[in-house]
Amino acid sequence: MKNGTCIKCQSEKIVKVKGRAVWKDWRSYVKATSFICKECGYVEEWVVTEKERSELPKEDSLYDTIT
């Protein structure tokens, strides 16, 4: 959706919301950008910069609980 088209419904009515916090630990975070489709409601979040992605928790951290 970063390219301006929804991957679910192909709508071009996309809202970009900057600055949502993605917590690294209980006291620090990186900023994510959300892309929201106004037609179907699909949402994607991206941590845009390489520097911020490098600051995310490691895959085996306490915050990685998806199985």
pLDDT above 50 for 8: yes
Dihedral sign for Cα atoms in the order 54, 14, 66, 26: positive
Does this model's pTM top 0.75? My answer is no
pLDDT value of position 66: 45
pLDDT band at 61 (very low <50, low <70, confident <90, very high): low
pLDDT value of position 29: 80
Q: Which amino acid is at 35?
A: F
Tally the C-alpha atoms within 13 A of residue 21's C-alpha that lie toward its C-beta: 7
pLDDT value of position 60: 63
The fraction of the chain above a pLDDT of 90, given in percent, is 33
What does the pLDDT average to over 8-25? 86
